[in-house]
Amino acid sequence: MPHVNGGASAITKAARLSIIVLAAVLGVRPAAAQVDPRLPEGPNRDLVVRHCGSCHDLSNLYTTVGRTRERWNATIDDMVLLGLNITPRDRALVLDYLATYLSRQ
């Protein structure tokens, strides 16, 4: 699949949202219980597993190690636009985990 703008997928947000909705309607779920062992232990890892793992294979998180806190925040913004239902408290805790364990320092 072609990539543009720093690795952003060529698939539009609307198309991705359609895929997510279709998967939900059909009852398709990723193997979220299969936590990649490289995902670091730490406070609020369970929230990352619950919120990110509801749509993603968690090994994807490990492949994005090195993002800045700002980039993780933008990624969460994108996921909210695509339908992620997350409270402000959980969002802050997930961002803290990602920024602490999977970011450039």
Percentage of the chain beyond pLDDT 90 is: 30
Residue 10: partners with Cβ closer than 8 Å, 6 or more residues away = 1, 2, 3, 4
Q: Delimit the domains of the chain by residue range.
A: 31-101
Confidence bin at 5 (pLDDT 50/70/90) = very low
What mean pLDDT is predicted for residues 60-79?
A: 84
What mean pLDDT is predicted for residues 15-31?
A: 54
Confidence bin at 20 (pLDDT 50/70/90) = low
Threshold 0.75, pTM exceeds: no
Would you tell me which CATH number, out of the four given (2.60.40.10, 1.10.3720.10, 1.10.760.10, 3.40.50.880), belongs to the domain 31-101?
1.10.760.10
Confidence bin at 3 (pLDDT 50/70/90) = very low
Percentage of the chain beyond pLDDT 70 is: 60
Residue-level pLDDT at 57? 77
- How far apart are alpha carbons 76 and 95 in whole angstroms? 8
| Three-state SS at 9 | strand
| 91 half-sphere exposure, CB direction, 13 A CA radius | 14
